[in-house]
Amino acid sequence: MDLQTVWFILIAVLFAGFFLLEGYDYGVGILLPFLGKKDAERRVIINAIGPFWDGNEVWLLTAGGAMFAAFPHWYATLFSGFYLALFLILIALILRGVAFEFRSKDDNPRWRALWDWSLFFGSAVPALLWGVAVANIVRGVAIDADMNFVGSFFDLLNPYALLGGVLTLTLFTLHGALFLELKIGGELRTRAQGVVKMLWLPVTVLALAFVGYSALETDMFANLTVLKVVGLVGAVAGLLFTGAMIFTKRYGRAFLGTAITLISTVILLFWTLFPRVMPSTLDEAFDLTIYNASSSDYTLSVMTVIAFTVVPIVLIYQAWTYRVFRKRLTVESELEY
């Protein structure tokens, strides 16, 4: 396997980590104003992701940094091309990040409401736009001979990409509702179960529609490779498994189902691309591939050594934090503070 392929896989792993982890905390942020009716309830909901969200977000930052280091042209084309979408994501992430810290530092109800809604928009906007962005990457965008995106912001808002965005938005919300079901107790837990039951069917329908639409818009079904089949089967089976578990009230397993779906989706989309990283709709010759977009072999080998040393350690201590904060939270347990 060449180094470019190794790094393509590593970036897929980072995106899978991002979808799996930040996916649920985006979902929790989206649900916050609807599930938490009273201030104390909202605090419990926020506390459920309090120790984790920042570490989750670093999966995205690392994916961005790894793209820059391993495939500078991919990073440059994507970030300058999807300019306004990324600007909106940045504004959202800024508001979201400070909201976690700022909201409870003042009792004024308007202050609290401001940051609660910042958490909502700060979670919903990226949850939607990452789906739009990824769907556009897989579908292909107007890239010229100099590797520059020459379309407009509104070209990115095509129906296929929007469907992708709505899918990630709702899928993350379902994933987040399941996470809450596992992390909180009492009345809030019952409400989270209600959301889960309500969302499962629409999410599954959207997912199947997206797969169907992908057959028309992308190369998903052209020369089916083993990994594509694994991704496809995993994505669909994960959701069906989630459904079965929801209706037998085994929510831990239902969360495992959405987790499998999220990881499988990343596998499916990345191997629909492979070996391209950003196909051009103007001319196949303008496609960015792992070869014409990559760094030198020297940089890739140095980075491989570092990544293979550090990533396992990260996984160990992040897993440890879930053990430390495994206790279920309730309004009562929080109110003593």
Partner 1 sequence: MDALTLARLQFGITTVYHFFFVPLSIGLSIIVAVMQTFYVRTGQERYKSMAKFWGKLLLINFAMGVVTGIVQEFQFGMNWSEYSRFVGDIFGAPLAVEALVAFFIESTFLGVWIFGWEKLSKGTHLAAIWLVALAANVSAFWILVANSFMQHPVGYQIAESGRAEMTDFIAVITNPNVLLQFPHVALGGLTTGAFFVVGISAYHLLRNRHRSLPMFQTSLRIGLIFGLVAVSGTMIFGHLQGQRMADTQPMKLASAEGLWESEDPASLSLFQIGNEQDRESVVNIRIPSLLSFLTYNTPDGLVHGINQIQAEYEQQYGPGNYVPPAIWLTYWSFRAMVGAGAAMALLAVVGLFFSYTNRMSQFKWFLRLLIAAILLPYLANSTGWLLTEVGRQPWIVQGLMTIDQAVSPNVTPAMLWITLIGFTLIYGALMVADIYLLQKFARDIGHEDPQSEMSSAAQGKNQAPLKSTY
**Is-contact 10 66, C-beta < 8 A?**
yes
- Which parts of 234-253 interact with partner 1 (CB under 8 A)? none
Distance CA 336, CA 137 (A): 49
Omega before 275 within 30 of 0, i.e. cis: yes
Task: With contacts defined by CB under 8 A, name the span among 197-205, 247-255, 261-269, 301-309 that binds partner 1.
Answer: 301-309
Measured from the CB atom, the residue of 115 and 241 that comes closer to partner 1 is: 115
Measured from the CB atom, the residue of 47 and 158 that comes closer to partner 1 is: 47
At 56, list the tokens.
């989750």
Rg, C-alpha atoms of the chain: 20
- Which parts of 86-145 interact with partner 1 (CB under 8 A)? 86-87, 90-91, 93-98, 100-102, 104-106
Measured from the CB atom, the residue of 87 and 247 that comes closer to partner 1 is: 87
Helix axis angle for 39-49 and 159-183, nearest 10°, is 100
Instruction: For residue 303, state whether it binds partner 1 (rule: CB under 8 A).
Output: yes
CA angle 143, 131, 170 (to 5 degrees): 165
Element spanning 288, H or E: strand 288-289
Of positions 1, 109, 110, 146, contacts partner 1 by CB under 8 A:
146
Backbone angles phi, psi at 52, to 5 degrees: -110, -30
Farthest-apart Cα atoms in the chain, separation: 64
Backbone angles phi, psi at 141, to 5 degrees: -135, 170
Least distance from partner 1 to the Cβ atom of residue 320, Å: 9
Measured from the CB atom, the residue of 28 and 232 that comes closer to partner 1 is: 28
Least distance from partner 1 to the Cβ atom of residue 243, Å: 32
Distances (CA, A) of 50 to 25, 29, 109, 298: 9, 11, 20, 39
Q: Which of 177, 128, 184 is nearest to 157 (CA)?
A: 128
Instruction: For residue 70, state whether it binds partner 1 (rule: CB under 8 A).
Output: yes
From residue 185 to residue 224, the character string flagging contacts with partner 1 as x (rule: CB under 8 A) and all else as - is ----------------------------------------
Instruction: For residue 147, state whether it binds partner 1 (rule: CB under 8 A).
Output: yes
Measured from the CB atom, the residue of 9 and 230 that comes closer to partner 1 is: 9
Of positions 30, 31, 78, 156, contacts partner 1 by CB under 8 A:
78
Q: Could you tell me what percentage of the chain is helix, strand and coil, using 3-state DSSP and rounding each to the nearest 5?
A: 80, 5, 15
Site residues (vs partner 1, CB under 8 A): 43, 46-47, 50-55, 57-58, 61-62, 64-73, 75-81, 83-84, 86-87, 90-91, 93-98, 100-102, 104-106, 146-150, 295-296, 298-299, 302-303, 306-307, 310-311, 314, 317-318, 321, 324-325, 337
